[in-house]
Amino acid sequence: MDSLITAAARALATGDPLGALKRIALREDAPALALRGVAMAQLGELDRAKALLKRAARGFGPKEAVARARCIVAEAEIALASRDLSRSPPPPPDRPPR
């Protein structure tokens, strides 16, 4: 991670979403989009936050599965907070017969 991403994450952890946005507002890489999504959620802009987190999840590569999963979990938390439970969970994966 670069220093701006680290500083923005630290600002979010201390409850300063505007400080985080100042550091990453114009960046379009996946980590910055994820942090912007979290910042927007902290500010109450839940629809914008969900859209940013979806973009971030798509932007992470195959070796960044944990980061992608964190975006999906954050999106689910936003849906829960906004009482938007209409999205059905994905079907379970097919299991080979025993």
How confident is the model at residue 83, as a pLDDT?
79
Q: Which amino acid is at 52?
A: L
Q: What one-character-per-residue DSSP string does 28-96 give? A: -SHHHHHHHHHHHHHTT-HHHHHHHHHHHHHHS-TT-HHHHHHHHHHHHHHHHHTT---SPPPPPPP--
Predicted confidence pLDDT, tens digits, the chain (98 residues):
689 999 999 999 999 999 999 999 899 999 999 999 999 999 999 999 999 999 999 999 889 999 999 999 999 889 888 777 676 555 655 656 66
How confident is the model at residue 94, as a pLDDT?
61
